[in-house]
């Protein structure tokens, strides 16, 4: 029981970190970014590239089976992923904004980008599964019937740090406040002298950095393959909707809830339907509480 | 020569399935401004409905194998897909348009899981086989059978096209376009925006369901592999390239993209060594993505833009 709880929280942390980026694009740039899964995948693959280049393995930290080489690669990957995402924004989404394209056009564009990125990954890294390392970490027994992987604890810790930094950024920094202002009312933000394009850039940076972390951690505990992001997009959307689309913290809460539900569904013997769990929860929430747990009533804009 | 003709017939039959799905998406996206990311899902619902109703009894399934006439299967496919569209629409069409996109995406993914795992209904990855095919008993020559099947497809495409043209030019179609352009204005005019959207969405899904059923009874075998998300992207690119909001554009786009797709398929299998097939396939998908993005940026109205209608 506790075992599944931990598994669910770890899996949920990754979904939550990815869903934060989804929430930011949804509220600030105002569209459902179907390419967010691929941002995670790119983050994971960039980490892999650097780890392989360094050639010293992923290192160790005491009982934890990943060390500074992988953590360093992850930080590097955050940078590269941000640059790539900003590049795509500059080439595509910025142009669509200038043309004042409809929201559906943005969704379609994101859908197209997601397919392209998946195939660029296939083209460069091949379609096979890859791993950071083949080392299988040892679980530590903490009580009768409950074993914990030290790596899981690290992932929970990193998630906690990320969410706290996010909170501080959104509430203390000027850019964070501007971001919330644009999310609340873009026209008002603009007449208040906020450079909206700059806010958009920082929104992408924030979402992509967290996604790179999530992607790398996900790849560490599972594996890398071009479809990894595509498999995460539905749970992430479900997290967004369950938590409440208008709230970033809702996305975190939703991510943990989706992770836990998936884990308990697997425990209940429904492993094959794991992917459909998020969809069922999504539909239930849309029917009974469309604004989600923490969300406000949808702004009509 | 015979091979060329028989390939051409096969090509056109498959193309007509895409044309129908593209017409279905056009009434949703092109005319009413609703984006359906689950075209493959509704296509699959139609295919499995018809397969279960018209197919033979399999030793390892619990439901299905009713051996009903194909007409029954196809009509049921239209109805079940329409009903599925109605359910999704009822839940999401009152909310922001992103929710429809997310939910239809979820439908397509979940249906794939169901098709892959509910062995007692779909035989999982092994698929449903030996489905009846119309005109299969007319002659011993498969060429003639396929030619007759193609004629049937053309008749159905023509019927759907004419019906759609008629309804989009009617006052009903004008309401759809007015909703797309300005939802608030449409509802201020006393139009029930939600109800019109729902109707348009159901019509589109029903057409996708029909094309799925036609696919199933033509191929005589379906498996979850046939309903991958790539199908949705193909249909979407067809519509964007051809011209959303123009039924002729939808047809043109479907024919063009399917021609390019098949041509590149043959090209890859001839030119590329087996070691690089994965890369070649990836490259092709990247190309189609680039086409989509370029169209969205430089020619969002498509090759055959929507005609300005004044009334």
Q: How many contiguous H segments (helices) and E segments (strands) does chain A have?
A: 12, 2
Whether the pLDDT of residue B121 is over 90: the answer is no
Task: Name chain B contacts of A290, Cβ cutoff 8 Å.
Answer: 94-95, 99
Go through B144-183 and write b for each residue having 16 or more CB atoms within 10 A of its CB, e for each that does not.
Answer: ebbbbbbebbeebbeebbeebeebbeeeebbbbbbbbeeb
pTM of the model: 0.92
Q: What is the pLDDT of residues B6-59, one digit of tens each?
A: 999 999 999 999 999 999 999 999 999 998 999 999 999 999 999 999 999 888
Among residues 136-165 of chain A, which lie with CB inside 8 Å of chain B?
none
Average pLDDT estimate for A237-241 = 94
Question: B113 to chain A: which residues are within 8 Å by CB?
Answer: 272-273, 275-276
Residue A243 lies inside a defined structural domain of this protein: no
User: Which of A300, A241, A270, A283 lies closest to B183 in space, CA to CA?
Assistant: A300
Per residue in B250-293, pLDDT (tens digit) is 999 999 999 999 998 888 888 888 888 888 889 999 999 999 99
Helix axes A274-288, A228-243, angle to 10 degrees: 20
Residue A113, domain extent: 2-232
Least confident piece of the model among A76-85, A262-271, B155-164: A262-271
Q: Specify if B93 maps to a domain.
A: yes
Which chain B residues in 19-48 lie under 8 Å from chain A, judged by CB atoms? 29, 33-35, 37
Q: Does B86 lie at the interface with A, CB-CB under 8 angstroms? A: no
Name the closest residue on chain A to residue B30, using Cα atoms. Answer: A104
Residue B151, C-beta contacts closer than 8 angstroms, at least 6 positions apart: none
* Separation in Å, CA B124 to CA A173, B22, B48, B76: 53, 27, 12, 22
In a domain, B288, yes or no: no
Of B30, B40, B95, B96, which to mutate for an interface test with A (greatest number of A Cβ within 10 Å)? B96
Q: Which positions in chain A touch B29 (Cβ < 8 Å)?
A: 104
Residue-number span of the structural domain to which B162 is assigned: 2-228
Question: Taking 70 as the threshold, does the pLDDT of residue B309 lie above it?
Answer: no
Residue B40: closest CA among B229, B248, B285: B229
For A9-18, A65-74, A135-144, A264-273, which range has the lowest pLDDT when averaged over its residues? A135-144
Give the mean model confidence (pLDDT) for residues B93-97. 85
Which helix (H) or strand (E) segment holds residue A147: the answer is strand A146-148
* Residue A214 belongs to some domain of the structure: yes
In chain A, the residue whose alpha carbon lies closest to the alpha carbon of B92 is A286
Given this model, what pLDDT does residue A64 score? 76
Of A26, A120, A272, the CB nearest to B113: A272
Mean pLDDT of A277-290: 90
Residue A40 lies inside a defined structural domain of this protein: yes
Answer yes or no: do B300 and A120 touch at CB < 8 A: no
Burial of B250 (0-12, 13-18, 19+ CB in 10 A): buried
Tell me whether residue A47 is in a domain.
yes
Tell me how many domains chain A contains. 1
ipTM for the predicted complex: 0.90
With an 8 Å Cβ cutoff, are B103 and A286 in contact? yes
φ and ψ at B61, to 5 degrees? Answer: -115, 160
Task: For residue B278, list chain A residues with Cβ-Cβ distance below 8 A.
Answer: 122, 126-127
pLDDT reported for residue B84: 96
Specify the pLDDT at position B86. 96
Residue A30: Cβ within 10 Å count? 17
H runs (alpha helix) in chain B: 2-25, 39-54, 70-92, 97-117, 119-122, 142-169, 171-181, 183-188, 193-219, 229-242, 247-271, 277-298
Inter-chain touch A122–B33, beta carbons under 8 Å: no
Q: Does some domain include residue B248?
A: no
Kindly report the number of other CB atoms within 10 A of residue A283's CB atom.
20
Q: How many domains would you assign to chain B?
A: 1
């Amino acid at each position: 029981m506790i075992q599944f709880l931990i598994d669910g929280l770890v899996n949920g942390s990754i979904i939550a970190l990815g869903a934060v980026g989804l929430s930011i694009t949804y509220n600030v740039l105002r569209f459902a970014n179907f390419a967010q899964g691929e941002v995670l995948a790119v983050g994971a693959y960039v980490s892999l590239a650097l780890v392989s280049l360094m050639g010293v393995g992923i290192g160790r930290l005491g009982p934890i089976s990943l060390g500074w080489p992988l953590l360093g690669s992850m930080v590097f990957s955050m940078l590269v992923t941000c640059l790539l995402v900003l590049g795509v924004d500059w080439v595509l989404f910025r142009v669509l904004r200038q043309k004042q394209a409809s929201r559906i056009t943005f969704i379609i564009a994101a859908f197209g980008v997601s397919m392209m990125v998946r195939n660029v990954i296939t083209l460069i890294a091949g379609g096979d599964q890859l791993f950071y390392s083949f080392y299988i970490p040892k679980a530590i027994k903490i009580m009768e019937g409950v074993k914990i992987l030290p790596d899981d604890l690290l992932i929970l810790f990193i998630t906690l740090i990320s969410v706290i930094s996010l909170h501080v950024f959104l509430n203390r920094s000027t850019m964070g406040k501007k971001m919330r202002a644009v999310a609340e009312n873009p026209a008002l933000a603009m007449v208040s002298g906020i450079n909206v394009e700059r806010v958009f850039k920082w929104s992408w940076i924030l979402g992509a950095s967290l996604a790179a972390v999530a992607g790398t951690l996900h790849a560490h505990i599972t594996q890398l393959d071009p479809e990894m992001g595509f498999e995460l997009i539905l749970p992430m959307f479900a997290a967004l909707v369950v938590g409440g689309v208008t709230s970033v913290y809702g996305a975190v809460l939703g991510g943990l809830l989706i992770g836990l539900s998936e884990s308990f569904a697997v425990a209940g013997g429904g492993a094959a339907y794991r992917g459909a769990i998020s969809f069922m929860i999504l539909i239930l929430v849309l029917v009974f509480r469309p604004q989600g747990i923490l969300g406000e009533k949808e702004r009509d804009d | 020569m015979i091979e060329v003709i028989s390939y051409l017939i096969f090509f056109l039959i498959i193309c007509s399935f895409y044309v129908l799905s593209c017409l279905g998406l056009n009434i949703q996206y092109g005319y009413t401004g609703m984006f359906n990311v689950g075209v493959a899902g509704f296509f699959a619902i139609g295919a499995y409905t018809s397969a279960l109703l018209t197919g033979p009894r399999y030793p390892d399934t619990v439901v299905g194998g009713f051996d009903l006439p194909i007409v029954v299967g196809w009509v049921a496919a239209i109805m079940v897909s329409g009903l599925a569209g109605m359910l999704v629409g009822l839940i999401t069409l009152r909310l922001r348009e992103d929710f429809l996109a997310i939910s239809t995406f979820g439908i397509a993914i979940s249906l794939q899981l169901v098709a892959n795992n509910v062995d007692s209904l779909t035989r999982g990855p092994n698929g449903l086989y030996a489905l009846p095919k119309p005109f299969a008993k007319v002659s011993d020559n498969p060429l003639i059978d396929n030619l007759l099947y193609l004629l049937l497809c053309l008749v159905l495409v023509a019927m759907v096209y004419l019906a759609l043209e008629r309804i989009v030019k009617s006052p009903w179609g004008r309401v759809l376009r007015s909703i797309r352009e300005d939802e608030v204005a449409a509802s201020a005019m006393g139009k029930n925006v939600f109800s019109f959207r729902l109707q348009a969405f159901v019509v589109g899904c029903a057409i996708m369901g029909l094309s799925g059923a036609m696919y199933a009874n033509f191929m005589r075998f379906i498996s979850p592999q046939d309903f991958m998300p790539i199908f949705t992207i193909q249909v979407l690119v067809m519509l964007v390239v051809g011209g959303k909001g123009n039924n002729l554009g939808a047809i043109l786009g479907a024919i063009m993209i399917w021609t390019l797709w098949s041509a590149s398929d043959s090209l890859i299998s001839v030119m590329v060594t087996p070691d690089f097939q994965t890369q070649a396939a990836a490259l092709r998908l990247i190309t189609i993505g680039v086409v989509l993005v370029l169209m969205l940026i430089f020619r969002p109205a498509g090759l055959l833009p929507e005609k300005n209608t004044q009334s």
